[in-house]
Structure 1
């Protein structure tokens, strides 16, 4: 494999892993959210497979980031307020029963809908 292609694959894999772990997601959960096989995602993160643009778009959508954010290799990563908030929410969700998590999701949905109007 040519060096430049491998460099891009490595940078892409690092980006996916960074955003996945920042969101508190396992490979299995991200793969499910993106509608892909967990083993394939693992291959992408280990630079064994080269993802298509469509696959990268599915991954970025599941991570709730834009495709351009996923492919922005030139800027160092900085925890954003949104990322920090997501970590806090994820930590709190992990402490809830499934029923409580459903209730909380409904409350958040209603707040977001209210703020949009």
Structure 2
């Protein structure tokens, strides 16, 4: 009887890990983020995030909280398996751009800023 109970517990744990991994992947991809970018935003090792998404590692609540914060969602949204991620908003894209922008040299950042201003001006006309 104990063996059956242990197996059920392990299957139950795996089911939760699997659903959590799918939620993380869905939110990440809908935000247009790579694993590497999300890991950087959450302060995690990219390989670890990959392991979480493939159900090879079980993240702690603290880690899930870091991931949800980086995705600009609540922890309860991340763990709400009955509701898929909603469309991303500009806030999510701005976070991604900020991470990438901070990786540029000052000269590259200045060039990129000028390009963005030119695009906005073009759209106005």
Distance 1:78 1:54 in 2: 21
**How far 1:98 moved relative to its partner?**
3.3
Q: Flag structure 1 segments of 5+ consecutive residues without an equivalent.
A: 105-117
Structure 1 residue 101: deviation in Å?
4.6
Give CA deviations for 1:41-94 in whole Å, capped at 9, x if unaligned. Answer: 00000000000000000000000000000000122x2634xx15468x57xx69
Pairwise mapping of residues 68-87 of structure 1 onto structure 2 (< 5 A)? 68-75=76-83, 77=84, 79-80=86-87, 83=88, 85=90
TM norm structure 1 = 0.70
Query: What TM-score does the superposition give when structure 2 sets the normalisation length?
Result: 0.66
Match of 1:62 in 2: 70
Asked which structure has the greater CA Rg, the reply is 2
Distance 1:12 1:101, change over 3 A: farther
Structure 2 gaps of 5+ residues are 1-6, 101-107, 117-125
1:39 corresponds to which residue? Answer: 47
Equivalent residue pairs, number? 96
* Cα distance in 1 between the residues matched to 2:59 and 2:114: 33
Q: Is the 8 A contact 1:23 1:86 kept in 2?
A: no
